[in-house]
A and B are shown apart, each in its own frame.
Chain A
Amino acid sequence: MFKRFHPYATPMHFHRLAMRLSPWLFALSAVLFAAGLTGGLLLAPADYQQGESFRIIYLHVPSAWMSMLVYLVMAGAGGVGLIWKVKLGDIIARASAPLGASFTFLALVTGSLWGKPMWGTWWVWDARLTSELILLFLYLGYLALQSAIEDRRAAARAGAVLAIVGVVNIPIIHYSVAWWSTLHQGATVSKFDAPSMATSMLIPLLLMALAFQAYFFAVLMVRARCEILEFEQHTAWLRAEVSGDPIA
């Protein structure tokens, strides 16, 4: 299987593939966003307890899902780059990190905006909130390491080790934080205990999740191309590509 994909795993082919794919991915995410937002903000009924405020889940939940998915993408791509020395893995890992940090930040901010009217406070020391905050710090540590190491290749490899260690640690952190918050405060604030959602509420949520994913991959293509431009700036193929007469 790897052999079949291998041609696309060179920066040159990926650069072209990304250029071709990204408009389609942007279009797909726009359609999904339109459908999901219409469904979520206009069509879905207001929640019987939370009223209109619940609608923020259409941003909050997909961002929270993406914050974890992107970390996995980052660690997976980094691992591929580290173990099989596939340069594209390094590129994708580096390109994903700021996106993942942004999704995590978005999840925290939307959660906090929802918490103010619902819980009466911007922040509670709830297990999930705390784990998400730690995830943000893990992303920021990765980004800080990336910017501290000048050589891109070395930075990508060091980052891959850190991301993989992070993946091993995230479940440990998550469960220890859950342990901590039950010990600390018992049941002060319970999350709205997930009643199985009504279909009219659930479908827009799933559409939004897909929209976020399409958007992530669309932006990832653009960012990966920027990374390739910097990684490969001294190669002949890129010079030919940029000057407009293809060599291959």
Chain B
Amino acid sequence: MSARQATTAVLHRDLRRGWRRRGDVAQPLIFFALVVYLFPIAIGPLPETLRALLPAILWVAAVLATVLTLPEVFAADHADGSLELLLTSPHPLALLVLGKIAAHWCTGAAPLLAMSAALGAILGLDAPTLAALLGGMALGTPVLALVGSLASALTVGLRGGTLLLALITLPLYIPVLIFGTAAARNAALGLPVAAEMFFLAGLSVLALTLTPFAIAAALRARLD
């Protein structure tokens, strides 16, 4: 089996598992929607303020929902021992890990994007703002998944892992949040958003090239 086949095998396996546990996949989405609806309740029914704040609210809720899904990247495999088998595989661990993260993005971030589109449209974002928001999320969520998986690898098998994960990941998510919300804000004012998109794309490429190796090192550090 070649390294590519092994990676796609990991990807397919995780996707299949996500499909079989559709209920678990839906939970972060429900959480996301709940957080988005908490803000209007806290701020009050002020349509103008809420419309201005909505992209930021959607981003923050998406970041929080992402953090909650992070333990699952490695937890199930750690519990049943298949993570240790991955570590002993002859194929590069960084590549196999990338397969797992791709699957996690498909089961976690992609539904979140669809949900953001729906909520943004229902709550009255105009088309350019919505486009900038979703474009930013599409470019930014890979960074969230990759950097978050690193923290997930570092905390795999620890008690109270989710809170620790949030502590570690949230500071590292700040650049994505900055550029993602700036794009939506610019779009709402009718300003160009290309710069923010390029930055997000750049961060994505950087994360895609570097974090798999860091994640492999983190898994070995924790489990060897």
Contacts and interface: CB of A to CB of B under 8 A. Distances in A.
Interface of A: 82, 134, 137-138, 140-141, 144-145, 148-149, 154, 157-158, 160-162, 164-166, 168-169, 172-173, 176-177, 179-180, 183
A154 B219 CA distance: 10
Contacts of A177: 174, 178
A141 B210 contact: no
Given A82-B217, A148-B164, A161-B221, A183 B182 contact: yes
A180 B164 CA distance: 27
A145 B178 contact: no
Closest 10 CB pairs of A and B: A157-B221, A176-B175, A141-B168, A137-B171, A180-B178, A161-B218, A176-B178, A141-B167, A158-B154, A148-B158
B222 interface: yes
B175 A173 contact: yes
B172 interface: yes
Nearest to A157: B221
B50 interface: no
B contact face: mostly helix, strand, loop, or mixed: helix
Given A148-B155, A172-B203, A161 B171 contact: no
A contact face: mostly helix, strand, loop, or mixed: helix
B59 to A, nearest CB: 13
B150 interface: yes
B78 to A, nearest CB: 14
Contacts of A164: 214
Interface centre among A134, A165, A168, A179 (most CB of B within 10 A): A165
A15 B171 CA distance: 35
A74 to B, nearest CB: 15
A154 B174 contact: no
Nearest to B179: A176
Contact of A168 (B158, B179, B185, B210): B210
Contacts of A157: 221-222
Contacts of A179: 178-179, 182
Interface string B149-176: 0110011001111001001101110110
A128 to B, nearest CB: 14
A177 B172 CA distance: 12
A144 B178 contact: no
Contacts of B161: 148
Contacts of B171: 134, 137-138, 141, 173
Nearest to A160: B221
Contact of B221 (A137, A158, A166, A168): A158
Contacts of A149: 158, 222
Contacts of A172: 175, 203, 206
A162 B168 contact: yes
Contacts of A169: 172, 175
